[in-house]
Amino acid sequence: QSVLTQPPSVSGAPGQRVTISCSGTSSNIGAGYGVQWYKNLPGAAPKVLIYGNTKRPSGVPDRFSGSKSGTSASLAITGLQADDEAEYFCLSYDTGLSGPVFGGGTKLTVL
Amino acid sequence: QLQLQESGSGLVRPSQTLSLTCAVSGGSVSRGAYSWTWIRQPLGRGLEWIGDFYHSAGTYYNPSLRSRVTISLDRSRNRFSLQLTSVSAADTAVYFCARGEPYVGDYATEYYFSSWGQGLPVTVSS
């Protein structure tokens, strides 16, 4: 249903590293638009973690990093902590829509 | 710190108009650099962009909603609004307002959403 494809869930133990993938097409990620990543908790405002593929807003720990290659992108979280447990979604702009498109979200469970 | 808060009716009858407001505090909607955006998430589904307001470029809407949607700014009350006409059950969703912050992308100015509201659930039902 979502334009960008993410795995429904990932998990990891405290202290470990996890990655979340985001797959798009030549109309969005592959068109050269930057990928953004957000953390989403129920009842809370989503929080931006990464924009422009790799940029972190001030205040976001460097445990969070983004990368992009071709029509796909990834979010990596190192030194996993309990409060990282949340849903994460990706965003990119789409030439066909002339607006942003989203991933379906990935539920991160900290074991 | 900028804060956004959605308000409006949580229940709308089919064929009626959905009207929501996003109150902005800690900043001004009159500043021209940003986008003022509405996004929604139907239950169990992914997020969907509704549209943006730009001071310099006007409004941009999702083509699937363009015939029914209006986004406007109220500078005197420091807020922006969403109107969606002729609603149906398919419009049932959590509605978010957000501020887009510009940055220089690889090819053009792009926007990321630095501030969001908490979201307002809206149900379309008789």
- Residue range A9-57, pLDDT digits in tens: 999 999 999 999 999 999 999 999 999 999 999 889 999 999 999 999 9
- How far separated are the first and last CA of chain B, in Å rounded? 39
Mean pLDDT of chain B: 94
- The predicted model gives B107-111 an average pLDDT of 88
Chain A contact for B74 (CB, 8 A cutoff)? no
Contact B103 A55 (CB under 8 A): yes
Chain A contact for B25 (CB, 8 A cutoff)? no
pLDDT of residue B106 exceeding 90, the answer is no
pLDDT tens readout for residues B26-75: 999 988 789 999 999 998 889 999 999 998 889 999 999 999 999 999 99
Q: What percentage of chain A exceeds 70 in pLDDT?
A: 100
Q: To probe the interface with A, which of B59, B60, B112 has the most A CB atoms within 10 Å?
A: B112
- Contacts B90 to A, Cβ<8 Å: none
Q: Number of Cβ pairs closer than 8 Å across A and B?
A: 72
Chain A contact for B5 (CB, 8 A cutoff)? no
What is the band of B108 on the pLDDT scale with cuts at 50, 70, 90?
confident
pLDDT tens readout for residues A56-107: 999 999 999 999 999 999 999 999 999 999 999 999 999 999 999 999 999 9
Nearest one of B65, B92, B112 to A49, comparing CA atoms: B112
Q: How far is the alpha carbon of B27 from chain A, nearest alpha carbon, in Å?
A: 17
Place of tokens 């965003």: A91
Chain B contact for A88 (CB, 8 A cutoff)? no
Contact B62 A97 (CB under 8 A): yes
Contact A38 B113 (CB under 8 A): yes
Q: How many C-beta atoms surround the C-beta of residue A15 within 10 A?
A: 10
Provide the phi-psi class of B8: left if phi over 0, else alpha when psi is between -120 and 50, else beta.
left
Instruction: Give residues with Cβ within 8 angstroms of A36, minimum separation 6.
Output: A48, A50, A51, A52, A90, A91, A92, B112, B113
Chain B residue at shortest CA distance from A46: B116
